[in-house]
Amino acid sequence: MVIVFEKGQRFETSYNHETYAYAGKWSGSMVLAPENDGNTEVLIYTENEVNELIETGELRLIAGLEMVMR
């Protein structure tokens, strides 16, 4: 299943449960910015890579107003 992404969508990583927001594009790739002020490292993936990470469970799309508990 291929997902069409929109700026502002939120994601959570499975390895450290860090949350990221889709901030925009850079050179054709998606830039995911951390929501944690202490983390300054962005993730940069192609849309196909993000879809693959979602399929394998390494990245989770956070729906709507869903909150992530840490």
Q: What is the pLDDT of residues 13-55, one digit of tens each?
A: 999 999 999 999 999 999 999 999 999 999 999 999 999 999 9
Residue 4's pLDDT band, with cuts at 50, 70 and 90, is confident
Two tokens at 28?
């054709």
Q: What is the mean pLDDT of residues 1-8?
A: 83
Pairwise CA distance, residues 60 & 38, whole Å: 21
pTM equals 0.84
Of 36, 38, 45, nearest in space to 18 by CA: 36
Pairwise CA distance, residues 29 & 37, whole Å: 23
